[in-house]
Structure 1
Amino acid sequence: MPDSTPPRTPFPPPPLAEVVGARERTIHVVTHPEAAHHVEGLVGGVHDSDLTARGARQAALVAAALRARIPDDAAVDVVTSDLLRTRRTASAIGAALDTVPRLDARLREASYGEAGGRPQDWLDARFVPPPAVGDRLRHDVGIAGAETRLDVALRVYAATTDLLRRATDHQVVVVTHGFAATFVVAAWIGMPVEAAGSVTFPVASGSITTLREDGFFHNRGVLSVGDVAHLGEDR
């Protein structure tokens, strides 16, 4: 009888060591603000919804907060998911920081397959939650075309590894989504992909998470997670 077990996605080899001298860098991980699917009760993921009017105001507040935190003379790289809501957020940030954002589709939110853009209730009625123990990385959520946690982790880890190879001594802004942001942070601290089955860094829409590598010990710190103080009354 043929084996019907689906093939296991291999883990990638460890990234090549970076050859660097003195280095100090800060990564600002931004989650896009309020988007149309939030207020319409629709499933997001790769469904390409736009920012709402409130979300556009929040994007301007995120941009202003980053402008205040980043020195005027610092080299800045802005990289963003290519979905509309993140592109619009990155555009506001790029204008404030006088730089043009780069697009990286690997920073997209998890795809919910055929559920994308449907009412949230439709997904809730069919979604199979992951087990408390076992292979959570490859768990099938029961929706045709949906990505596994491993699918998302592998592409976000790869995107983060690439941007860190570029960012040897400057400030980076990463504009992404709530679930994907967890894997940016996990990759930053060097968590192996195979250990990322349960990790989460809960962040709200329009948040800023600050990561910093010091110039002496070269420790990678997580200075803040999901800061939304800059949104003020627009939270």
Structure 2
Amino acid sequence: MRTLYVVTHPEATHHVEGVVGGWHDSELTAGGTHAAARTARALRSRIPQEAEVELYSSDLRRCRQTAEPVAALLGLRPVWDPRLREKSYGEAEGRPQAWLDRRFVPPPATGQRMDHDEGVPGAEIKAACARRVHAAMADILSSPCEHQIIVTHGGSLTFVVGAWIKLPLAAAGYAAFGAAPGSITTLHEDDYFHNRRLADLGDTRHLDPS
């Protein structure tokens, strides 16, 4: 059986400052750092001690700061992969969210949703983001390792899950797998039928202070 643990980075400074994330290289808040440590301990408790484990992460600082305690606790060397980044928001990045809201053009209900121009100069279209995340997932899944950890962003999670279940890119324009910051999404593939399933979406029980 193959198991993937997909971690969405916890609270970062752009969340509390009310600015646009994307490729804006924000860092974890004090609360986010605490959540990252809890996430590392949760992963250690779920993965057998003797298991081979691989760790992949977006190269942006908030994901690196989430992956580092995981790497330290499990004795891993992370692979920093820019293809696991959030969608780029171009000129909106680091600006107040209201700046983006005034310019944002929502996608149509039907039609070319993946190639939709959201009206922000320099921003990625969804298709470009999905293609690079799918390419990263293809490389990750080419490894035979049975336990893999992926640290990424909330917006990229949909494309990670979509790649896992082999959702066609055109259909990904209608999909949304939302999960809270600091959550763990668990993906399983059995070794008999080789069916892939979304076993647990956005688990946050490890963040409960009790």
Alignment partner for residue 75 of structure 1, among 52, 76, 88?
Answer: 52
Greater C-alpha radius of gyration: 1
**Mapped pair 1:45 → 2:22:** yes
CA distance in 1 between counterparts of 2:68 and 2:209 reads 23
Q: Which residue of 1 aligns with 2:83?
A: 106
Quick check: 2:133–2:160 contact (8 Å CA) kept in 1?
Answer: yes
**Mapped pair 1:152 → 2:152:** no
**Mapped pair 1:213 → 2:189:** yes
What does residue range 4-43 of structure 1 map to in structure 2 within 5 Å?
A: 24-43=1-20
Structure 1 segments of 4+ aligned residues over 4 angstroms from their partners? none
CA distance in 2 between counterparts of 1:178 and 1:200 reads 10
Structure 2 segments unaligned to the other structure (5+ residues): none
Which residue identity does 1:219 align to in structure 2? N
TM-score, scaled relative to structure 2:
0.98
Structure 1 segments unaligned to the other structure (5+ residues): 1-23
Which residue identity does 2:48 align to in structure 1? P
CA distance in 1 between counterparts of 2:154 and 2:148 reads 18
CA distance in 2 between counterparts of 1:165 and 1:226 reads 25
**Mapped pair 1:204 → 2:180:** yes
CA distance in 1 between counterparts of 2:80 and 2:145 reads 21
Q: Which residue of 1 aligns with 2:96?
A: 119
Q: Which residue of 2 aligns with 1:54?
A: 31
Q: Which residue of 1 aligns with 2:150?
A: 174
CA distance in 2 between counterparts of 1:53 and 1:152 reads 29
CA distance in 1 between counterparts of 2:170 and 2:110 reads 14
TM-score, scaled relative to structure 1:
0.88
Kindly report the root-mean-square deviation, in angstroms, between the aligned alpha carbons of the 2 structures.
Answer: 0.9
Q: Which residue of 2 aligns with 1:192?
A: 168
